């Protein structure tokens, strides 16, 4: 994910890093920037932020003293695009979903160097006891800076692959197969409302890669939003209002990074634009029979009912160039997302963002299902609601971590062009019904 390009190439085709305007070769990987890129090379492109705000339709009228009049059923949204129109019947993406394994955790389709760190290897003679071996050459020791003393290969970072599972929510985040680091982040938690009823929440953030310190931005936003929800929900704040306040808290956390020095020396990287840290955010809450979603940017939430004969739905509207074109009636969904400007985002968290406009919506499902909260690293390979429903395992509500692993694996099988993060929140109906709004 990146911001407004200021050069002929907004990102290096080889590594994704933004080049300086006068560079003929990428300073990060040496890629020839004068080479003509292949047309339509792949199903997804780096997301960029553009400075034209989306003119979204006004939200439904709502009683200022109530946050429940906008509540609707996910079944009322039988797979619509950002402009409220039916999604095209033909698949926008050409990746063919692969069947998930019936048992056990998902296994990556190709050997992954990150898995090598956990495998045993015979240390070379003279290697200090307990020293880590390089995941690339399997023979060199890793120095304190994280590089192999034999081949110089940079070793995996802690954020390259993360998993977390609670009884009512799970999330998985992966660096992907093309990026050199993971700029996504998530926060998942469970708490209780004042009446003792349970509440589950998930926050997923995607760093804007051409911004300074995008990984710090996503981590700060996820952490702040998650903590805000854990504070507000037990206090009795309505979940929809709590989500709005959590996004505001996340924005303030990201804004504060613009005044702080970087932690990894990126502020002095001559190949990186010096703009404010930025990220997108999407979150979901399942509490008291309600499903609440909130977002800024192009990370998404989907509703997938357990009964797959019922229609799934996309619950969020992208803040993006493609969504703006569709909403204005200038392009259909397939045309807009085939354009190279499709993933240019028009809303984000960051000090250089336009006026913050958190989007929130409340739903009251009338049947059990699962909520998929994800970055574009996943939905690039399952964009329409029915496509997402096809790749979500049938037992995802009962095994959310396994379901999240399968979805991340689906994105890696499709090419893994971006960081991939997904959280799954099962939704069940209580014996008392769907709860009061």
Q: pLDDT by residue (tens digit) across 59-109?
A: 344 444 443 334 444 444 433 333 444 433 222 222 233 333 333 333 333
Confidence of residue 126 (pLDDT cuts 50, 70, 90): low
Q: Is the pLDDT of residue 357 over 80?
A: yes
Confidence of residue 8 (pLDDT cuts 50, 70, 90): low
Pick the closest to residue 51 from 313, 356, 366, 347 (CA basis): 347
pLDDT of residue 87: 33
pLDDT of residue 209: 87
* Tens-place pLDDT, residues 236-248: 999 999 999 999 9
Mean pLDDT of the 2-21 span: 60
252: tokens are: 């303030």
Which has the higher per-residue pLDDT, 26 or 127?
Answer: 26
* Cα 261 to Cα 273: distance, rounded to the nearest angstrom: 15
Backbone torsions φ then ψ of 93, nearest 5 degrees: -95, 150
Whether the CB-CB separation of 181 and 435 falls below 8 Å is answered with: no
Q: Is the pLDDT of residue 145 over 80?
A: no
Q: Is the pLDDT of residue 216 over 50?
A: yes
**Whole-structure pTM over 0.75, yes or no?**
no
236: tokens are: 């009795």
Query: Can you tell me which residue has the tokens 């995008």?
Result: 214
pLDDT of residue 354: 81
* Cα 232 to Cα 359: distance, rounded to the nearest angstrom: 18
Mean pLDDT of the 206-226 span: 95
Whether the CB-CB separation of 417 and 178 falls below 8 Å is answered with: yes
> 99 burial class (0-12, 13-18, 19+ CB within 10 angstroms)?
exposed
Confidence of residue 263 (pLDDT cuts 50, 70, 90): low
* Cα 139 to Cα 118: distance, rounded to the nearest angstrom: 14
Q: In what order do the strands lie in the sheet with 313-314?
A: 161-165, 170-174, 420-427, 369-374, 300-305, 313-314
pLDDT of residue 140: 82
pLDDT above 90 covers a percentage of the chain that reads 48
* Cα 342 to Cα 279: distance, rounded to the nearest angstrom: 17
CA 317 from centre of chain: 14
Q: What is the DSSP letter of 32?
A: B
Confidence of residue 341 (pLDDT cuts 50, 70, 90): confident
Confidence of residue 306 (pLDDT cuts 50, 70, 90): very high
Which has the higher per-residue pLDDT, 216 or 58?
Answer: 216
pLDDT above 70 covers a percentage of the chain that reads 65
Backbone torsions φ then ψ of 284, nearest 5 degrees: -145, 145
Q: Is the pLDDT of residue 135 over 90?
A: no
Pick the closest to residue 245 from 365, 75, 360, 334 (CA basis): 360
CA 321 from centre of chain: 18
Mean pLDDT of the 357-370 span: 94
Q: Is the pLDDT of residue 301 over 80?
A: yes
Q: How is 81-121 classified by DSSP, letter by letter? A: -TTSPBPPSS-SS-PPPPPPPSSSS---SS--HHHHTTS--
* Cα 47 to Cα 348: distance, rounded to the nearest angstrom: 11
* Cα 147 to Cα 39: distance, rounded to the nearest angstrom: 36
Query: In 127-235, which residue ranges form alpha helices assigned H by DSSP?
Result: 214-232
Mean pLDDT of the 261-287 span: 73
218: tokens are: 């996503």
């Amino acid at each position: 994910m990146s911001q407004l390009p200021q050069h002929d190439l907004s990102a290096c085709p080889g590594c994704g890093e933004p080049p300086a305007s006068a560079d003929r070769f990428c300073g990060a990987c040496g890629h020839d920037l004068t080479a003509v890129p292949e047309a339509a090379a792949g199903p997804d492109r780096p997301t960029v932020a553009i400075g034209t705000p989306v003119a979204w339709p006004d939200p439904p009228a709502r009683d200022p003293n109530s946050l429940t009049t906008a509540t609707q059923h996910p079944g009322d949204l039988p797979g619509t695009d950002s402009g409220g129109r039916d999604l095209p019947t033909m698949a926008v993406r050409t990746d063919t979903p692969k069947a998930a394994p019936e048992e056990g955790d998902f296994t990556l389709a190709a050997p992954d160097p990150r898995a090598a760190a956990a495998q045993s290897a015979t240390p070379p003679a003279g290697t200090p006891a307990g020293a880590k071996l390089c995941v690339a050459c399997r023979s060199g020791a890793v120095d304190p800076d994280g590089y192999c003393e034999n081949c110089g290969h940079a070793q995996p970072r802690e954020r390259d692959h993360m998993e977390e599972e609670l009884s009512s929510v799970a999330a998985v985040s992966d660096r992907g197969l093309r990026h050199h680091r993971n700029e996504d982040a998530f926060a998942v938690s469970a708490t209780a409302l004042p009446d003792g009823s349970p509440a589950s929440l998930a926050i997923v953030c995607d760093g804007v890669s051409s911004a300074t310190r995008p990984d710090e931005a996503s981590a700060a936003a996820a952490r702040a939003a998650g903590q805000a929800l854990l504070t507000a929900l037990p206090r009795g704040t309505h979940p929809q209002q709590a989500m709005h306040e959590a996004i505001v808290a996340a924005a303030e956390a990201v804004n504060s990074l613009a005044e702080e020095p970087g932690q990894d020396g990126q502020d002095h990287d001559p190949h990186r634009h010096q703009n404010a840290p930025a990220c997108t955010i999407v979150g979901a809450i399942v509490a008291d029979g309600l499903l609440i979603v909130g977002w800024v940017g192009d990370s998404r939430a989907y509703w997938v009912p357990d009964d797959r004969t019922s229609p799934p739905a996309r619950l969020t509207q992208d803040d993006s160039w493609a969504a703006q074109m569709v909403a204005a009636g200038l392009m259909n969904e397939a045309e807009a997302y085939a354009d190279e400007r499709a993933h240019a985002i028009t809303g984000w968290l960051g000090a250089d963002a336009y006026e913050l406009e958190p989007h929130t919506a409340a739903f009251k499902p009338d049947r059990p299902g699962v909520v998929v909260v994800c970055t574009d690293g996943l939905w690039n390979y399952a964009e329409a609601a029915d496509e997402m429903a096809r790749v979500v395992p049938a037992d995802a509500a009962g095994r959310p971590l396994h379901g999240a692993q399968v979805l991340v694996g689906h994105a890696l099988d499709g090419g893994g062009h971006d960081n991939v993060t997904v959280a799954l929140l099962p939704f069940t109906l209580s014996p008392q019904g769907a709860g009061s709004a």
